Amino acid sequence: MGGKNIGLIGLGVMGQSLALNLQRHGFGVAVFNRTPQKTKEFTSRHPEIMPTYSLEAFVRELDTPRRVLLMLTAGPAVDETIRALTPLLSRGDVVMDGGNSFFQDTERRAQNLEAQGLHFLGIGVSGGEEGALKGPCLMVGGPTEGYGQVSRILTKIAAQADGPCCEYLGPRGAGHYVKMVHNAIEYAIIQIIAEAYDFLTRAGELEISKVREIFDEWNHGELGSFLFEIAVEVLGKMDEEKRVPLVTLVSDRAGQKGTGRWASQNAMDLGVPVPTIDAAVAARNLSAMKDERLNAAKVLGTSRPPTSRFHAGSVESFRAAVEASVIVSYAQGFHLMSRASEHYGYSIPLGKVARIWKGGCIIRAKMLDPITHALETEEPRNLIVSTEFAGRLIPLDPKWREAVKQAKAAGIPIPAINASLDYCDAYRSERLPANIIQALRDRFGAHGYERIDKAGNFHTNWSN
């Protein structure tokens, strides 16, 4: 045996960064990549990491029980590698998938490998290239015995925030489920930031430099977060050739890798409303329809923002709307995880999720301190009714509504901010118009309905 503590397969950006992180913390690392040239180039720059050029050689370099970390593109590549790798492993070895795999795929793989006597861990890795190198947030799911064999390594390389930003979150696909929801919240917050940028630049006709100042001020308050921090960086970057803010030259088609969509679809399956996340996914889909949008602008005309509606208080109104909507984004994500934890038998420790999200990950934010406290002390079904966040949302409400009103009057789409307000209004409504929905369903489909004055299920001949 080669005596290496861990082996890593997949030398993309994240794989390379994690390999360097592992080596820097004193662990012996062997690597393998499907393309030998990439392995050669990487290890020539980092000779302290052991290159291998076949899976057989890779496995021989590992100490037992073997620990293998897959950093591959989610989907068929993971299954193909597992099929090729598992015949070379022994009972009790650990295989970890650190990619953005769909949690149901992780469930399937965990069951298959368990039948072969292998431990399979699905690990959500957040933090991007920089986080992987300097300290990511690690969300682990799988068998506890398997986690016990790798916990020392994972906690050592993780970011630190009130302890290592690495936690065991439940069996089978729990880790990848939490990562999916993490990314969905990320979608929502990025969309909210984009809507604030759009309103300030179009309705307010503010220069990018001024919007940057506003975002920087917000980042030093309750909205302090990694995403606002990098938004300030992005808005400050100038194009070297044209000497204008680079962001103004970036195409308005946003890409996505599917995790937000998965969360939205899964929330529908579980009957958990996450309209802010849904709106963020839909907004990215709409952005991709550039040709259709250009045609619609010709046919329908574009709304011209009446600048007279933008006034001194508009910036503060939008700051309040952004803060409230970010709160709602986290609340929807944790509400979804709570329901999923029950449905899939994960027993996800939500307070620990909030704690590890405070470091290393993309959605790390000042707001996660009170979220952690609320989840660990009150265990609310929904964060918006916790003492902390109800106390925040109530005073934000008037300015939140004012911001929505101004954006609508100016013809600026704010799907995530608007959906957040509608969600909050619906969630706290003692009575919703579902009575007429029940009546209509009974009228056209004889589905029956419940009454408020007596128990049972009723059907009426509504047409007579």
Place of tokens 């292998």: 118
Q: Average the pLDDT over 295-317 and give the result.
A: 80
Find all residues with CB under 8 Å of 262, minimum gap 6, and list them. 102, 103, 180, 184
- Asked if 199 contacts 414 with a C-beta cutoff of 8 angstroms, the reply is yes
| Residue 259 predicted with pLDDT over 90 | no
pLDDT number for residue 3: 83
Phi-psi region at 434: left, alpha or beta (left = phi > 0; alpha = psi -120 to 50): alpha
Query: Tens digits of per-residue pLDDT, 163-187?
Result: 999 999 999 999 999 999 999 999 9
Residues belonging to the active site: 179, 186
Q: What is the DSSP pairing of strand 67-70 with strand 6-9?
A: parallel
Q: 357 is written with which tokens?
A: 């999200």
pLDDT number for residue 302: 77
Under the banding of pLDDT at 50, 70 and 90, the label for residue 304 is: low
Please tell me the distance from the alpha carbon of residue 261 to that of residue 250, in angstroms, as a whole number.
24
Domains and CATH numbers, the chain: 6-172 (3.40.50.720), 180-427 (1.10.1040.10), 434-464 (1.20.5.320)
pLDDT number for residue 59: 97
pLDDT number for residue 253: 84
Residue 123 buriedness (CB in 10 A; 0-12 / 13-18 / 19+): buried
Instruction: For the chain, report the end-to-end CA distance as a whole number of angstroms.
Output: 83
Q: Average the pLDDT over 431-443 and give the result.
A: 95
Name the nearest CA neighbour of 264 among 246, 255, 251, 276: 276
| pTM across the whole model | 0.94
DSSP letters, 292-316, are: HHHHHHHHH------GGG--TTHHH
Query: Tens digits of per-residue pLDDT, 211-247?
Result: 999 999 999 999 999 999 999 999 999 999 999 999 9
| Residue 418 predicted with pLDDT over 60 | yes
Q: What does the buried/exposed string (b/e) look like for 306-337 if buried means 16 or more CB atoms within 10 Å of the residue's CB?
A: eeeebeeebbebbbbbbbbbbbbbbbbbbbbb
Eight-state DSSP code of residue 365: B
Average pLDDT, the chain: 95
Residue 441, number of CB atoms within 10 A of its CB: 14
Under the banding of pLDDT at 50, 70 and 90, the label for residue 464 is: confident
